Every structure is written in C-alpha cells, then in structure tokens.
Amino acid sequence: MSQQDYENKLAAIQAVSDADVATPNIPISVAVQEAENLYYWCQTDKDKLVAAGLRWELVDDLPARAAACRYAQSVWNKDHQSVEEAQKEWKEKSPAAFDLRDELLHHFFFAYRNAPDVYSKVNTIAEGNGNADMIQDLSDLTILGKQYPDPLNSISLDMALLDEASSTSDEMATLLARVNGGQKTQDQTKILRDKAFTHLKDAVDEIRHTGQYVFWRDDDRKKGYISPYFRQRNKANAKKQSTTESQQTAPTK
C-alpha cells in the first residue's frame, strides 16, 4: 500500500520546490506515526476546524502522504545501505589493488630501463594516483606487458601477474561504479525522501496550527495538536537547562 501511495503522490512530491524542502528534524518513523495519530485525533473536531478555515482535504490526504513518506524513507535506506556496502568493499580491496599497480610499475621500470620508448610509456602510466587512475593503470600495464614480454621474462617476472592485473582492473572498475553510481542514486532518493517529508509536514503543520488556534483554552483537545516528540524534547532540554543553571549558581564551598 505504501508503494502505491508513493506512486500516486509522486507528482505532488516532485512538485515541492527545492527552496521549500525541509530537512527532517525528527525521525521519519516518528513523523509518520504522529501524522497518522493526528488523522484520527482530529476527526471529532472536523466542524470546528473547518469553521476556522482548515481545508479538510488536507486531513483526508494525511494517510496517503504518511504512507508515501514511509516508502520514500525505505527506498533511501536501501540505497544508503547499498552505497555503504560498496564503500566498505572498496576500502577492503583497494589497498591490494594499489599495491599490485605499484609492484608492476616497480618491475616495469627496471625491466624496460634500456628500452626508452617503452620506458616513457611506463612513465606516462605512472602519472596520477587517484582511484580511476589505478584502475586504468592496471589495464594499461597488462596490455603493455603482453606487448613487450621479453624484458619481463628476462627478470623472471611471474607473467600471471598481468592476468591478475587485468581481472583486478575489471573488478575494481565495477566496484567503483557501484560506489559512484550508488552515491548519485542515493542523493536522488534522499531528495525525494526530503520532499515527501515536506509534503507530509505541510499538511501536519497546517492541521496542528489550526487545532491549537481553535482549542487554545481546551488543553485536553489542544494536546492532540502538539507533537509529542518535540514536547518531550523540549521538556528534556528545559530540565537540562535548569540543572545547568542550578549548578552555575550553587555556592562554592
């Protein structure tokens, strides 16, 4: 159901302007649950809220907005975890790949020291130390070594290293694409998650503001239009502030 609501609300979510996007200042799971609670809380107050100018379609739309936000969060979580897994794998495997590149360059510089044309090609390959450079270097060294094998054989180089360099280059290229491509996907899904949150927050804020206005002298009803999350957080901050002030003003012995 959440996915269907997300797809149904996608156009409205995408329509949220970048300038109006609100970064979540509350856990998404909490925001969604509070929105769903608000939907049921305000049902008995419909006439009073509408009389105060609330567009009731905002209330009717709350469950769909909440479900869409929940689904957008799930999509972002999945992409975030995929990127983290790829980054972890890159961190584990890349040192060996860089070491293999450096080892081959060490052998190649020695083997081709008396072949100026080939040596200059090794020099060119050695330029640059980035991730993409390392991947390209392994591929280039493989091709160069197989093109001029005799000097390598003369220093007893294990030619299997060239095949290892080729396969390592392919593997690391795929892994780096997962890291970079996944990061772009994660950024896109985060934007949609934030817009889905904003779309939900807009409705929740309007309903709460109206409810607090209508029930300004009725604490029993008004409390349902105040976020429990922020109410508890404000209490905790106030208690912490009070404790700090007491400690600062306590007489020294």
Residue 46 main-chain phi, psi, to 5 deg: -50, -55
Query: Within 10 A of 228 (CB to CB), how many other CB atoms are there?
Result: 13
Q: Residue 52 domain-assigned?
A: yes
Q: Residue 180 domain-assigned?
A: yes
Please give the single-letter amino acid code of residue 133.
D
**Helical axes 56-111 vs 116-126, angle rounded to 10°:** 150
Q: Find the domain containing 224 and state its range.
A: 2-231
**pLDDT string in tens for the chain (253-residue length):** 678 999 999 999 999 999 999 999 999 999 999 999 999 999 999 999 999 999 999 999 999 999 999 999 999 998 888 888 999 999 999 999 999 999 999 999 999 999 999 999 999 999 988 999 999 999 999 999 999 999 999 999 999 999 999 999 999 999 999 888 878 888 899 999 999 999 999 999 999 999 999 999 999 999 999 999 998 888 877 666 655 555 555 555 5
User: Which of these, 225, 235, 237, lies nearest to 48 by C-alpha position?
Assistant: 225
What is the predicted pLDDT for the residue at 178? 86
Number of independent structural domains in the chain: 1
- DSSP 8-state assignment for residue 252: P
Q: Residue 53 domain-assigned?
A: yes
Q: Residue 174 domain-assigned?
A: yes
pTM of the model: 0.73
Collapse the DSSP code of 35 into the 3-class scheme (helix H, G, I; strand E, B; otherwise coil) and give the result: helix
Q: Residue 62 domain-assigned?
A: yes
